Amino acid sequence: MTPRPRLLGLATAVPPYRLDQSDVIARAERLFDRDASEIDRMMGVYDNAGIESRYSCVPLEWYEQPHGWQEKNRLFLTHAVDLLESAARRVLDETGLGVADIDGIVAVSTTGIATPSLDALVMERMGLRRDAWRLPVFGLGCAGGVLGLARAAALAQAAPRQRILYLVVELCTLTFRRSDQSKSNIIATALFGDGAAAAVIGCEGGGPELAAWGEHCWPRSLDVMGWQVADDGLRVIFSRNIPALVRSDLRTAAEAFLARHGLRLADITAFLCHPGGAKVIAALEEAFGLTPGTMREGREVLRAFGNMSAATIMFVLQRALGAVAGRKLLSALGPGFTAGFLVLEAG
């Protein structure tokens, strides 16, 4: 019988600067050019985002000045490694493991460029074993939290006596571009926060089973979500049609994934989804036929931390562990346009 990987431990971390949404609103009103942008018409986005606070690796005053791509990526490297180390040490303490017990590292991020990759930087910082193998994953955006966890599960299943350290970090706030007056940048300013998570995956030990995983990439959808590289950083791409796509297409993709593993939606007792934003959560509940307000964990994470891209689903999962019983379906959407799915069975 093929061994099933288990979630042996999970920890999260956020940077030190807490941004209250009211302070972000006041700053945005001052920073955006009212004549060149749609800021006045779109101020409701901040109020309706379902967010009360977020965390940033730089103080709010940092956004007052223009910053180039080189500076932003330097900050990304510094703070991403700091957050990953913090989360990794917490999960090792939680599981009673040491750095010598880690056989492989999977590191996920899409908000900065790292070569050497983040896994190598963390290895150097923490003194992880020099024969530990590494898998950096870039470009999956918000879907990276689920798909990266799936990659770690697949690797653990292939080597059932080994333990995989799964790392995910996103510093979304560094992508703010003061010169960009577009609707997408204004929406990003209303939603994005910074965060990181670490998990240990292995087939030996207790914890929930990662029972199945998969994904679906829709055709002719490359322009739905992503980044464009500009001189002053990463320019966000958001389609206004994302909630509509969720309502019309996500259920069919989820049902096909579950069917491949002998499951139906009726077999799922809890839906843990990357929240994205308030409109996306509402669309997710509608797509899965849930009563409005059912996705409590997603709403709580969005309210307290904002949209941390790939890291967000790990915060949602952390809140659900021990609090939500039964078989769980994790899902997240990202560039491609891609849906990632993972089934978690109670341990």
pLDDT at 36 over 60: no
Contact assessment for residue 146 and residue 183, using Cβ atoms and an 8 Å cutoff: no
CATH number of the domain at 320, please: 3.40.47.10
Which candidate, 281, 266, 242, 286, places its Cα nearest to that of 327? 266
Range(s) of the domain holding residue 90: 6-202
Residue range 210-262, pLDDT digits in tens: 999 999 999 988 888 878 787 777 777 777 788 888 888 999 999 999 999 99
Can you list the alpha helix ranges (DSSP code H) found in the chain?
21-31, 39-42, 44-47, 69-95, 118-126, 144-158, 183-191, 242-245, 251-260, 278-287, 296-305, 312-320
Same domain, 217 and 138: no
217 contacts: CB under 8 Å, gap ≥ 6:
336, 337, 338, 339
Inside any domain, residue 1: no
**CA–CA gap between residue 200 and residue 10 (Å, rounded):** 7
pLDDT at 205 over 90: no
- Is 142 labeled as catalytic in the residue annotation? yes
Q: Give the domain-ending residue among 202, 233, 255.
A: 202
Q: Give the domain-ending residue among 202, 220, 248.
A: 202
For helices 144-158 and 312-320, give the axis angle rounded to 10 degrees. Answer: 70
Handedness of CA 125, 142, 51, 59 (dihedral sign): positive
Whole-number pLDDT of residue 92: 98
Domain count, the chain: 2
Higher pLDDT, 318 or 346: 318
Same domain, 113 and 232: no
pLDDT at 60 over 90: no
Same domain, 236 and 113: no
Same domain, 264 and 292: yes
Mean pLDDT within 105-133: 96
Inter-CA distances, 101 with 98, 143, 162, Å: 5, 28, 8
Place of tokens 């839906």: 271
Work out whether strand 225-230 and strand 233-238 pair parallel, antiparallel, or are unpaired: antiparallel
pLDDT at 35 over 80: no
**CA–CA gap between residue 335 and residue 109 (Å, rounded):** 13
Inside any domain, residue 130: yes
Same domain, 146 and 247: no
Q: What is the largest CA-CA distance in the chain?
A: 65
pLDDT at 73 over 90: yes
Percent of the chain with pLDDT over 90: 67
pLDDT confidence tier of residue 144, bands split at 50, 70 and 90: very high
Whole-number pLDDT of residue 33: 62
Same domain, 168 and 118: yes
Contact assessment for residue 312 and residue 145, using Cβ atoms and an 8 Å cutoff: yes
pTM exceeds 0.85, yes or no: yes
Whole-number pLDDT of residue 27: 73
Whole-number pLDDT of residue 188: 76
Inside any domain, residue 228: yes
Mean pLDDT within 150-179: 92
Cα atoms in the Cβ-side hemisphere of radius 13 Å centred on 233: 26
Inside any domain, residue 226: yes
Compute the mean pLDDT over every residue in the chain, rounded to the nearest whole number: 89
Mean pLDDT within 122-136: 96
pLDDT at 98 over 90: yes
pLDDT at 166 over 90: yes
**CA–CA gap between residue 265 and residue 317 (Å, rounded):** 19
**CA–CA gap between residue 241 and residue 268 (Å, rounded):** 27
Render the burial of 304-319: b for 16+ CB within 10 Å, e for the rest: bbbbbbbbbbbbbbbb
Inside any domain, residue 282: yes
DSSP code per residue over 45-99? HHHTS--SEEEESS-GGGGGS---HHHHHHHHHHHHHHHHHHHHHHHHHHHT--G
Among residues 57, 142, 172, 203, the one annotated as catalytic is 142
Mean pLDDT within 276-285: 89
Inside any domain, residue 318: yes
